[in-house]
A and B are shown apart, each in its own frame.
Chain A
Amino acid sequence: MTARGEMTLEQPSADTLKVVLSGDWKLGGELPSAEKVQQALDNQPGVRQLVFDTRKLASWDTGLLTFLTNLNAFCLKQNLRLKSDGLPPGAKRLLELAAAVPEKKDARPAEERLSFLSYLGNETVNFFRSAGELLEFIGEAVIASQRLVRGQAQYRRADLGLILQAVGVQALPIVSLICFLVGLILAFIGAIQLKLFGAQIYVADLVGIAMVRLMAAIMTGIVMAGRTGGAFAAQLGTMQVNQEIDALKTTGISPMEFLVLPRMLALALMMPPLCLYANVMGILGGMVVGVGLLDIGFIEYYQETAKAVGLWNLGIGLFSGLVFGIIVALAGCMRGMQCGRSASAVGDAATSAVVTAIVGIIVSTAVITVLCNFLGI
């Protein structure tokens, strides 16, 4: 049965209103509203004080307290006296406790409603600020790399080994699956078109050049952005939340050298071999379609691929892989180092790292493609 609280109002004298409370004043039950008392007070302008009779009050909880705090606020506003003597001692004390520290009116952060132009202006400023931070981070990474070359960088070789393992060997299964399927898909799409001209054999050229020159590096880069870039951001972000990065700084160890450098180095070292491996898997995927569905001989497919794929293509692919590796590491580490101090900030940092890395990969692919075109390779 729902708890029910009841209230009656009496006026024992011209300047006093008595609030008689009875029944169960419990949260979630049927409780009279404080507005009824306020209305009565408005109708009786001579009333200067409010008193309570709670002799018939059976039980109470927060339900009674919210009622009383509302009345208290109203009485303060109207300059009326609220006499709490008739209240249960516990409720009286809690009412005093709740009123002990006045509400900080200026504590709430102002909710800013920005006009479109202000919003646009803020976003533009933020964009340039982010670009500045990115350049600053890249600059610090370059300086740290120089110290590494000079053998002055502070980092643990054991950490580098573990990161190499995490970004290298442990990434092989997912890279295999993705690149094998991409090679397979490319071959299928090419086969449908080339079959119309009786030129199925050129499926080997299509898959070989596409995978070796571009697709293997891009797909591996995207896989590493999701798998490793996000993980870097989450690791460093959590360290930021736990003040571990502050501890490194105060110990005199550069977080850039100790945390970022090994990660960047590991990805830069591992991405070219991973791309090479991805090339093989992609070509295998294409070969399955070529040999299995298009009746091209295994040796014939191999020879056509070897003839089509030149060393320049391989070099461009591996160089792209190296660039993508550095981009993924920088994006992951930068977002991790910029992380806020809360759990949700870690999630935001991981998401932002993946997005930044993928955008970086696509933009750098465009730049590399234009450059190669310009150089005629």
Chain B
Amino acid sequence: MRLSGTDAGAAPRESAVITGQEAHIKVQGLTMAYGDFVLMRDLTFTINRGDIFIVMGGSGCGKSTLMTILIGLKAPAQGKVFYGGEDFWGADQETRDRIIRRAGVMYQSGALWSSLTLAENIALPLEIYTDLRPAQVRKVVKLKLALVGMAGFEEFYPSEISGGMQKRAGIARAMALDPEILFFDEPSAGLDPVSARRLDDLILELRESLGTTMVVVTHEMASIFAIGSNSVFLDVSKRTMTATGNPNQLLAETKDPALRLFLTRGEHS
């Protein structure tokens, strides 16, 4: 990572959480479709370096599909995605692999490999993509688990831990290679309020400490307002995005009834 990038100079510098400055991901005129069925069209927005960017919208609007396009699992029907100026879907597979290796993904259910222990789950990307010695890998694994509050759980299998712990272990695995961008698919889904809050705090702390760009797909209002610095709203009825910006600002200023309805959980239509 790229964790701090360039802490040079006379005094130790923070990892420079720069939001709203440099574009990290740019989406231009994106259309998402399954066969002939167009899910969303004309999506254009920018995710800046260091943003906690929320992809929000009602159920079935295509939030998770948008994430699968951003992480290279599904091609868009139309439009472009730029990573730091590089046309992601216009590039060959090798380039796409190189770009996406700089990203980490936490899936909704954790998606930990069930036949591997938590330590092996986190160690696998390190063993494949780095030349670290086994002892070093073990140290990194221990650190990553400690960062998500799970030190000591190295030898557990995913089936032996709770859903919330699986999500945190999923974050530890996503962070294994010190990614520049972390994607989260419904991080709070299925968690109790306290665990959801802790996960939000963890996301905020990681962004503050590392300056990592975070893309969070969610429709949990508490999370959206607590952690989001920027967002896009996908309107399922209009099949396109209707707003982008800071969620708190959108709530204060929007005149769009659908967005207001969403952000106020239907209380002020």
Contact = CB atoms under 8 A, between A and B. Distances in A.
Q: Chain A's interface: helix, strand, loop or mixed, by majority?
A: mixed
Given A89-B12, A98-B147, A58 B210 contact: no
Contacts of B159: 340-342, 345
Interface string B139-173: 11011101101111111111110000000000000
Interface stretch (B71-79, B128-136, B184-192, B241-249): B128-136
Given A27-B140, A54-B12, A88-B13, A97 B205 contact: yes
A69 B143 contact: yes
8 contacts: A54-B12, A55-B9, A61-B4, A69-B143, A70-B139, A88-B12, A94-B210, A104-B152
Contacts of A88: 4, 7, 12-15
Contacts of A69: 139, 142-143, 146
Give 3 nearest A-B pairs by CB, closest first: A342-B114, A103-B151, A104-B152
B124 to A, nearest CB: 15
Interface string A94-114: 100111111111011101000
Nearest to B1: A61
Given A62-B144, A65-B143, A88-B12, 15 more contacts: A27-B178, A28-B131, A59-B4, A61-B2, A61-B178, A65-B3, A69-B146, A93-B208, A94-B210, A98-B143, A108-B155, A108-B156, A111-B155, A342-B157, A343-B115
A58 B7 contact: yes
B151 A62 contact: no
A345 B157 CA distance: 12
Question: Which of A59, A99, A340 has its CB near the most chain B CB atoms (within 10 A)?
Answer: A59
B5 interface: yes
Interface string A136-159: 000000000000000000000000
Nearest to A340: B159
Nearest to B129: A28
Question: Which of A90, A109, A340 has its CB near the most chain B CB atoms (within 10 A)?
Answer: A90
A101 B151 contact: yes
B104 interface: no
A354 B3 CA distance: 50
A340 B115 CA distance: 12
Contacts of A60: 3-4, 7
Contacts of A99: 146
A108 B131 contact: no
Contacts of A97: 146-147, 202, 205, 209
Contacts of A90: 3-4, 14-15, 208-211
A315 interface: no
A86 interface: yes
A145 B68 CA distance: 47
B210 to A, nearest CB: 6
Interface in B12-26: 12-15
Interface in A1-53: 27-28
Contacts of A66: 136, 139-140, 143
Contacts of A103: 146, 151-152
Question: Which of B7, B13, B144, B151 has its CB near the most chain A CB atoms (within 10 A)?
Answer: B7
B11 interface: yes
A294 interface: no
A253 interface: no
A71 to B, nearest CB: 12
B12 A62 contact: no
A66 B138 CA distance: 10
A337 to B, nearest CB: 17
B6 interface: yes
Nearest to A21: B12
A342 B111 CA distance: 11
B192 to A, nearest CB: 17
A108 B152 contact: yes
Contact of A62 (B1, B6, B10, B14): B1
Contact of A100 (B7, B8, B149): B149
A59 B12 CA distance: 10
A263 to B, nearest CB: 26
A91 interface: yes
Contacts of B208: 90, 93
Contacts of A57: 7-8, 12
A87 interface: yes
Contacts of B178: 27, 61-62
A170 interface: no
Contacts of B13: 88
A93 B8 CA distance: 18
Question: Which of B1, B3, B178 has its CB near the most chain A CB atoms (within 10 A)?
Answer: B3
Nearest to B154: A108
